[in-house]
Structure 1
């Protein structure tokens, strides 16, 4: 049998039927045919390309493979993504950044185990549904950024937030985070005014941010609060573990940076508070954590909304209002049938109290005199 015929027969047995029997049959066929490995890899890269055409990006694919399969499959898909991406001379900046995050490492196993893992991965890839696209796929035209380097302001913001995550002193973390939010707001307004003055073609874009278990509802609420405060819209897809954030490019990366940092700071504060609870004889860890993070997200939402009102002066309202309308229109175009859900699961008073206090410690204000860039 030819290598193509072997691969086709293995796929017919394994990819389009549920259960392990078909996987075992397909793996046995491939294990006995080493010459089919090259064809098998080409088919995998083709499945990756088809997933991109259905709206998935590299980080999305890696995230769901990691969640639904495992580390070995993540290694395999990273290699396929790198191989398929290598066919294209030019890639959009966000796409390139996701490729830089890939963890590539060889997967060592006996032939049967290797073939079985490959078929499990391909079964997942061919069943991925279409989702809302958030950028051009490789090979499609895109608007290149004026510079390959990150804007200086974002570099400063990133450095401030890294320091906030690293410090063991809550007051210092508060001050650093406050300064980062101040710079984010200033950068956003400057970009909006520049676009208005120069009549630069500027339209909302979108990106996806992972919202991983556990306690994903609280994390999604926190991301929504950060996005709203920075003139963006976030739509959570609980089934696939991500939120799509819609906004102007000047705001999107800032949202991801601040959300990630606040999540790290909140998790650190939660671990510290949980240790105190355990020292007092408490054992209900899960309910404490869930209530803590819900309170943390809720309180930060209130504080960020207040800050958002403070940083906008009357002369900026017309420019920013037009951008708000554009973001809303784009989000509604992408997601015409969003739904709301009632949040449940806050049952631990101590967790809620500690989470609220942690949010207050991570407060974000307009200015803070103790920090100099």
Structure 2
């Protein structure tokens, strides 16, 4: 898949992608062509746009055999963090938008998420199990500081004593330590903080609008001090670029308060592969071929292997050695493999005004 040329009218500031490849389901494809006129351009900085969706449902179910949850909620579509490697980029194609710049500049928010959540878990036939947040896009991306959709969801879950897991790299999670700490005291929440690199320069290129590595370590520290179980997610591990940091990331996260650790080699599904190749050529042209050859060595000779069981861990000698290194480091650092088991037994509707009080 070849990428279209960059729009010269747009001035990009802290963006991961450089262009807008076509959404794969669209019947028409657009290409910019030079019209022969060399006129001076009036460039405008590309801004993030937030669209509001009045969602009809909020909980997504899945039966994937290599995912440890069966239900999830994503309060936002798209993610302004702009991580170039994000496996969620292809999901923007379902909206008729590009997995490139559109994914990180055209965000959809679902302000009624908390109301839909409460209606779902309040159904008579609802069977409680932990709900996963942050499985596709980050619920604590920048706009959450203003809209507080995730906080409203936390308030519902806390009131119902409903267990949940959370994956984020957004510093706004520290705003909600009051709720998360209280839920942790009832064994209702676990968190995962993604730390890709400790190198701020590499992070700025890979994840241009995500918090810095130092901020993410402070997030781990803040969550841990509030009593919230924290897992450091060394993900994605990218050969040549950040794989040499794996043990140092785990040690720094352990020192900050992380209890457990996980690792995933980089995945490049669908449109992510050409976007990542383009990013490599822009930022690391001398390493691009080496990086891709090492990725393919873990993916059966391809850019990506989507099969259940191998998509999260890779295959072959390269992947086996990486996982062996990770297991040894986890054991040496005293980090756990699994998160604490969440308590589903407390789940109940919160008391309402006028309800008869229980005797026992």
TM-score of the superposed pair, with normalisation by structure 2? 0.27
Structure having the larger proportion of residues in strand:
2
Structure having the larger proportion of residues in helix:
1
TM-score of the superposed pair, with normalisation by structure 1? 0.27
